[in-house]
A and B are shown apart, each in its own frame.
Chain A
Amino acid sequence: MSSSPYVQLNNLAKHFGKVKALDGLSLDIAEGELVALLGPSGCGKTTALRALAGLQELDRGLMIVDGKDVTFQNANKRGMGMVFQAYSLFPHMTARDNVEYGLKLKAHRTSRDKRKARSNELLELVGLSTHANHYPHQLSGGQQQRIALARALAISPKVLLLDEPLSALDAKVRTQLREEIRRIQLELGTTTLFVTHDQEEALGIADRVGVMRNGQLEQIAAPDELYDRPGTAFVAEFVGLTNPISGVVSKGAIELLDSTVKVLKGSITIGQGIALVRPENIEVVASQSGNATVFSASFLGASCRLSITLNDGTRVTAQLPSSDAVGLSAGAPVKVSLLDRPVFVKPII
């Protein structure tokens, strides 16, 4: 394997009228890696994915896949497998015919026997062998997406592209299918770009998560790093929950809630700022002489979420193991402090 990345997107730009859908997006994906592109609706995720698939012309930019410049290659020559949000199965074909479709075309032509073997293999992989002769309208939303996945994988794509493939499904099917996509992806070792606006989905499935904003990549990192060490205020606020609490920064640390914690790179370096504190980094203990009172408590199972009113009137949310939250019901006086974890601090305005 060469040392250069398998997929390189370099400085992609595309505008629609006045809207800059992509504004200099650069992204590398290693072979066999699953990268999730995460961002709010309208930030350019779909445009980026479609550009890589060859379905979207760009104003400028360079796309290299497997050492080849594919920037101007037609979509039907690129060998990208794409799974759409919904309703992408060919309605007049059975599940099997859908899966075999790409293998009948010139680009990936395969003999009838091999085609059959391949579709059997893929239907098995997505757990729908028994539904081979069903038409799309006879399948549930989740089953349709499985077939769409099998169809995209049938051509042994260079890159598997998924554009919010789970967003039209209900919650339970969504997590189940998400895990299955990951299992299949690891099993086949397919390089994958997964687009979603759901942070839980992105963090749960990806090797690395790229957070997009206004057509640019804001930060790309492994899920835990992205969550624990956000590089910008946008990332901190978009990925997971945060409590904005003001404090004073000096010498690489911030003082707040009677605690002193380190500040993350990218934060302001001196003066008054707003720390973005994760609920689970807030420590709460019952104390008559504390600095806050519990406003409300909600039990989430293994953990418990407390809404707490500080003495200065600010409201913060803390999340702690249910076992530590015993007796902390509404009205209880508590002492709130911070766990010793670095925090991102943004300027006041």
Chain B
Amino acid sequence: MKKSIGVRIWRISIIAVVSFYLLMPLYAMFDFSTKQFGLGGKSRNLDSWRIIPSQPDLAIAITRSLLTALIVMALILFLIVPTAIWVHLKLPLLRRPFELLCLLPLAIPAIVIVVGIAPLYRWISINLTESPITLSGVYSMLILPYTYRSLSAALDAVDIHTLAEAARTLGASIGRVIFGIIMPTIKTGIINGSFIAIALVLGEYTISNILNYKTFQVVIAQIGRANGNVAVAVSLASLLFVLFLLLLIPNKKRLGTVLDVDVK
């Protein structure tokens, strides 16, 4: 008993330290966003938060970035995940080369990628569309290292070969095996991979800025040049929004398992 109290104290202090470390910057952001500089000196108010909705381009940039994230997500679900499954299931010899390929975006600096990809995007914006949503193409490549790793780990954690063969003998087509059996089985891996991807897409600045697309981060930077407080307020708001999303999904899943157990 004594020992367990000791353990608990340890745990609480570790959680406290980590929370402090993680929450301090958020608090600092909030603090900064409510401070008014100049005239009144110490006055504090929520003005910078209040004027967020009236910022030019902001709403549209958020919509665009979210839409881009959504498209990237769809690409993950219908292209990257099935491909990863296929490689694991049927092409074991291609696993290493594929992994290496997926790691390339980490090894190549974003700047270099932009330089390489700029002519393509120039062509796209002249001949097809100027919409920043086309960025989902380059983004779905940038996210590969993270997404593929988390998928690969999830695929290694279960015996997908046996599951696939069991489903096959019961009459399932290859498509059904991938979408109906294996994807639900590695759901957690897919969710994790997608979240990293979304966070990356919503936070990406270098490429969209250089290619001259007004995405969320680019607009925040713009606002920041005009008014630092508002920019920080917007950043904090977006951070909280993503945090909210992150907390929401695993909880829902946990809730699901709890319900399953009780149903029996």
Contacts and interface: CB of A to CB of B under 8 A. Distances in A.
Q: Do A and B bind each other?
A: yes
Given A87-B159, A91-B158, A82 B166 contact: yes
Given A90-B181, A92-B185, A133-B263, A105 B166 contact: no
B248 interface: no
Contacts of B170: 76, 81, 101-102, 105, 107-108, 151-152, 155
B57 to A, nearest CB: 43
Interface in B159-203: 159, 162-163, 165-173, 176, 181, 184-185, 187
B5 interface: no
Contacts of B184: 90, 92
Interface in A17-50: 50
Prevailing SS type, chain A contact patch: mixed
A152 B173 CA distance: 17
Nearest to A131: B264
Contacts of B172: 76, 101, 105
A54 B263 CA distance: 38
Contacts of B100: none
Given A84-B166, A87-B159, A105-B176, A133 B171 contact: no
Q: Which of B158, B166, B181 has the most CB of A within 10 A?
A: B166
A76 B166 contact: no
A140 to B, nearest CB: 15
A70 interface: no
Contacts of A53: 165, 169
Interface string A71-87: 00001111111101001
B162 A55 contact: no
A138 B262 CA distance: 12
B261 interface: yes
Interface residues of B, number: 22
Nearest to B257: A135
Contacts of A298: none
Interface of B is mostly: helix
B134 to A, nearest CB: 35
A277 B60 CA distance: 88
Contacts of B260: 94, 133, 135
A84 B165 CA distance: 9
Interface in A81-124: 81-82, 84, 87-92, 94, 101-102, 105-108
Contacts of A152: 169-170
A134 interface: yes
A77 B170 CA distance: 9
Given A88-B162, A88-B166, A135-B260, A108 B185 contact: no
A155 B260 CA distance: 27
A131 B264 CA distance: 8
Nearest to B182: A90
Contact of B264 (A87, A101, A133): A133
A75 B168 CA distance: 6
B37 to A, nearest CB: 55
Contacts of B168: 54-55, 75-76
A106 B163 contact: no
A87 B166 CA distance: 10
Contacts of B166: 82, 84, 88-90, 148, 151
A176 to B, nearest CB: 23
B163 A88 contact: yes
A108 B165 contact: no
B163 A90 contact: yes
A135 B167 CA distance: 17
A20 B159 CA distance: 25
Interface string A131-160: 101110010000000001001100100000
A274 B214 CA distance: 88
Contacts of A88: 159, 162-163, 165-166
Contacts of A89: 166
Contacts of A82: 165-166, 169
Interface in B121-173: 158-159, 162-163, 165-173
In order of increasing CB-CB distance, the 8 nearest A-B pairs are A107-B171, A102-B170, A105-B171, A92-B184, A75-B168, A82-B169, A88-B166, A88-B162
Given A90-B181, A152-B169, 10 more contacts: A54-B168, A79-B171, A84-B165, A88-B162, A90-B184, A91-B185, A101-B167, A107-B171, A155-B171, A161-B169
23 contacts: A50-B165, A54-B169, A76-B173, A78-B169, A79-B171, A82-B165, A84-B165, A87-B162, A88-B159, A88-B162, A88-B165, A89-B166, A90-B167, A90-B181, A91-B158, A101-B167, A105-B176, A107-B170, A133-B264, A148-B166, A151-B166, A151-B170, A155-B170
Interface of A: 50, 53-55, 75-82, 84, 87-92, 94, 101-102, 105-108, 131, 133-135, 138, 148, 151-152, 155, 161
